[in-house]
Amino acid sequence: MADYNILPYLYASDTLISEASSTMFDFVALDKTGIIVVLPSASLEHYDGEALLAEAPPHFLQDAFLHISHPDEISTAVAGAIRDDSQRHARVQQYRDYLFWGWMDRPHSAPKQSSSGCWRKAGMPIAPDM
């Protein structure tokens, strides 16, 4: 099985749609807005029964990411996620500062370095300008 790394694609993406992926935290670190799909099921759990999220999905990254519960809401949510919204952006920054406070004053540098290394490892002649 090949080893895949999503980091290079996060830099190229304008938004992310997920139900509970830890990739949402990477998106926060990149100061981007994502979309959380709130599934109409019991709480999401890891294989061992531990809760996937400490907060219920409707409240996870509240006011920073958009939340949808039906596929018909995707296009409206994507438009909202990529639209410049100063309040949402400020909330993303609050989450970023809280979650990634140990990354000195450049929270984007660690994933960027890792992503550039992945591009080189994949044989790409030049890492994308990030």
Strand partners, 67: 36
Domain span at residue 111? Answer: 7-121
Q: Is residue 1 domain-resident?
A: no
pTM above the 0.85 mark? no
Q: Is residue 127 domain-resident?
A: no
CB contact at 8 A, 17 and 33:
no
Q: What is the pLDDT of residues 39-65, one digit of tens each?
A: 876 666 777 877 766 666 677 889 999
Provide the number of structural domains found in the chain: 1
Q: What is the pLDDT of residues 92-126, one digit of tens each?
A: 999 888 887 765 455 455 555 555 555 556 555 44
Per-residue pLDDT at 53: 65
Strands (E), the chain: 17-18, 35-37, 66-68
Strand partners, 66: 35
% of the chain exceeding 90 in pLDDT: 33
Q: Is residue 91 domain-resident?
A: yes
Q: Is residue 114 domain-resident?
A: yes
Per-residue pLDDT at 112: 52
- The sign one gets for the Cα dihedral 42, 47, 51, 52 is negative
Q: Is residue 107 domain-resident?
A: yes
